[in-house]
Chains A and B, each alone.
Chain A
Amino acid sequence: MRRPLREGPSGRPPLILMVPALIGLAFLVLPLAGLLFRAPWSTLGTRLAEPHVLEALRLSLVSATLATALCLLFGVPLAWVLARVPFRGARLVRALVTVPLVLPPVVGGVALLMVLGRRGLAGQWLDAAFGITLPFTTAGVVLAETFVAMPFLVISVEGALRAADPRYEEAAATLGAGRWTTFRRVTLPLVAPGVAAGAVLCWARALGEFGATITFAGNFPGRTQTMPLAVYLALESDPQAAIVLSLVLLAVSVLVLVALRDRWTGAGGSA
């Protein structure tokens, strides 16, 4: 089964790569095909017209978008600090940033309650000083999604920053630009595709968020019930409805992602 190692770029792709690639693709796509296969197509229209479906979809789109905005606002500067400012303990900080990736989201939700809950470390104070309580609110949904999704953005942007040619920034500095100006006029445009790719990943992760959301924000239609929560509860009583809801979520997210990819990252090239 040994094949010659050297193959011109125009040669046939080697089987040793193609076979696992196809298996990988099938593994990712087949469950989706299963959903399509089991979907109750005949009653699709009436199920979609139910008001709670649209309500959950709207809430999902709004909260995922707000969460992505928050991730950009705080995540891009964080990525810049990690990539450009040398400091002691940077490795530890970088590891901590990735914690939400490995943390079971439900545990993330409990952790958020410990800090931002009504009796949490900061939440207690928020409640006493401003009368703000975050659990069971749409703001709570956005925070839970931000917590889980931000690492995706930070990692993508940090990677892009490290890969960017530092000579442009050096040139800007030589020409007298301050660090903020350099960041705004040189660095940011340079890593824009990385930021866009990170934002897209971040949005997709926020859209599918379940565990942290239901734990921190609870589940109430119109206020905190996003599509994944609606899917989970539908699964309890009516699996067919759950499939329909999943398909809606999938269709909308694929549409948005494809549209964004074409627009932001030049037909999906550089991301």
Chain B
Amino acid sequence: MRTGVAAALAAVLPLALAGCGDIEGSRGGGGGTLTVFAAASLTETFTSLGKAFEAAHPGVRVRFNFGGSSTLARQIAEGAPADVFAAADTATMAKVAGGGAVEAGQARVFARNRLVIALPRDGSAAVRGLRDLARPGLKVVVCAAQVPCGAAAGKALAAAGVRLRPASEEQDVKAVLTKVRLGEADAGLVYRTDARSAAGEVRGVEFPESARAVNDYPIAALDKAPRRDLAAGFVRLVRSEQGRSALVQAGFEAP
């Protein structure tokens, strides 16, 4: 039986680890810990900014909780101990402010993101704009209307007058990206930053109607932040020249 368990672990462990590769081991203790809740699309940029912040504040550790903005907002509303919240749209930040976790008028827009059509690099579909997505036989995936990227997709499609019959309405933008990356979908609507993060496998096609569905990303130090001083410092870093250039490099637009 013992060997059976060992064999099971050996078979599963690499997969399980791959599944949670972005969780950083906490060393515990030491200086202060800054906890940042941020939209999933900020994963790459904020991780690198977090390293810069740690380098500038010896002894301080930055811990991230990346996820869907509305999920994070709910966690904050239920009392999760966060210092900073960065959302993928202003509506979600407004919800958090409405719950009293952020002082009204505190949140600042620090980046903008817009949708692009993501195509598998080795795909054969000729897609030049939103209209092409409605072609019969094309498997298109989008975000569900309940999440910000789905709301944005809905606005852009309405602006283009295109009625889409998607193969799937995914739970978040990374799921859409995965389906395109694996070639399961012929096309998907993702943020420009997502397409850029997977540039090896995915080609992003810009389209004019995306201007109708630009997402503003607000950031704020939370009112009850256990580390208000550090929280304010991190918000400053994100809005600094250094933060801006990291964001632009990832495909965001400056506000």
A102–B16 CB distance below 8 A:
yes
Interface secondary structure of A, over-half rule: helix
CB proximity to B under 8 Å, residues A75-108: 91-92, 94-96, 98-99, 102-104, 106-107
Beyond A107-B18, A214-B175, A237-B70, whether A95 also contacts B170 by CB under 8 A is: no
Q: Which of A6-14, A111-119, A246-254 contacts B (4 or more CB under 8 A)?
A: A111-119
Beyond A91-B7, A118-B183, A214-B175, whether A103 also contacts B15 by CB under 8 A is: yes
Which of A111, A218, A235, A239 sits near B15, CB closer than 8 Å? A111
Contacts of A233 in B (CB 8 A): 144, 146-147, 171
Contacts of A237 in B (CB 8 A): 70, 146
B56 within 8 Å of A (CB atoms): no
CB distance from B177 to the nearest CB of A (A): 13
Contacts of A98 in B (CB 8 A): 8
B128 within 8 Å of A (CB atoms): no
Contacts of B16 in A (CB 8 A): 102-104, 107
B23 within 8 Å of A (CB atoms): no
B68–A236 CB distance below 8 A:
yes
Question: What is the bound-complex CA distance between A220 and B144, given in angstroms?
Answer: 9
CB proximity to B under 8 Å, residues A210-225: 214-215, 217-221, 224
B7–A95 CB distance below 8 A:
yes
B103 within 8 Å of A (CB atoms): no
Question: What is the bound-complex CA distance between A55 and B147, given in angstroms?
Answer: 21
CB distance from B144 to the nearest CB of A (A): 5
A99–B175 CB distance below 8 A:
no
B169–A118 CB distance below 8 A:
no
Interface residues on chain A, number (Cβ under 8 Å) = 37
B71 within 8 Å of A (CB atoms): yes
Question: What is the bound-complex CA distance between A136 and B188, given in angstroms?
Answer: 14
A198 within 8 Å of B (CB atoms): no
Q: Which residue of B lies closest to A218 (CB)?
A: B168
CB distance from B85 to the nearest CB of A (A): 16
With a 10 A CB-CB cut-off, give which of A94, A98, A218, A239 has the most chain B CB atoms. A218
A232 within 8 Å of B (CB atoms): yes
CB proximity to A under 8 Å, residues B5-26: 5, 7-8, 11-12, 15-16, 18-20
Question: What is the bound-complex CA distance between A238 and B20, given in angstroms?
Answer: 28
A91–B3 CB distance below 8 A:
yes
B8–A96 CB distance below 8 A:
yes
Interface residues on chain B, number (Cβ under 8 Å) = 33
Which of A104, A119, A239 sits near B184, CB closer than 8 Å? A119
B168–A239 CB distance below 8 A:
no
A186 within 8 Å of B (CB atoms): no
Interface string of B30-65 (1 = CB under 8 A from A): 000000000000000000000000000000000000
B167–A218 CB distance below 8 A:
yes
A95–B8 CB distance below 8 A:
yes
A135 within 8 Å of B (CB atoms): yes
Contacts of B168 in A (CB 8 A): 136, 217-220, 224
A95–B175 CB distance below 8 A:
no
Question: What is the bound-complex CA distance between A136 and B4, given in angstroms?
Answer: 35
Question: What is the bound-complex CA distance between A237 and B167, given in angstroms?
Answer: 22
B182 within 8 Å of A (CB atoms): yes
Question: What is the bound-complex CA distance between A111 and B141, given in angstroms?
Answer: 19
Question: What is the bound-complex CA distance between A94 and B70, given in angstroms?
Answer: 41
Interface string of A227-245 (1 = CB under 8 A from B): 0010011111111000000
B12–A99 CB distance below 8 A:
yes
Question: What is the bound-complex CA distance between A106 and B15, given in angstroms?
Answer: 11
Contacts of A110 in B (CB 8 A): 178
B166 within 8 Å of A (CB atoms): yes
B74 within 8 Å of A (CB atoms): yes
Which of A94, A104, A111, A135 sits near B4, CB closer than 8 Å? A94
B179 within 8 Å of A (CB atoms): yes
Question: What is the bound-complex CA distance between A52 and B71, given in angstroms?
Answer: 22
Question: What is the bound-complex CA distance between A236 and B3, given in angstroms?
Answer: 43
Beyond A94-B4, A219-B144, A219-B169, whether A113 also contacts B18 by CB under 8 A is: no
Contacts of A113 in B (CB 8 A): 182, 184
Q: Which residue of B lies closest to A104 (CB)?
A: B19
A235–B74 CB distance below 8 A:
yes
Question: What is the bound-complex CA distance between A118 and B4, given in angstroms?
Answer: 33
Beyond A107-B16, A219-B171, whether A236 also contacts B71 by CB under 8 A is: yes
Which of B7, B146, B171 sits near A92, CB closer than 8 Å? B7
B139 within 8 Å of A (CB atoms): yes
Given A99-B11, A234-B146, 10 more pairs with CB closer than 8 A = A96-B8, A99-B8, A214-B171, A215-B175, A218-B141, A218-B169, A219-B171, A220-B168, A236-B68, A236-B171
Query: Can you sample 7 A-B contacts with CB below 8 Å?
Result: A98-B8, A99-B11, A110-B178, A219-B168, A232-B171, A236-B70, A237-B146
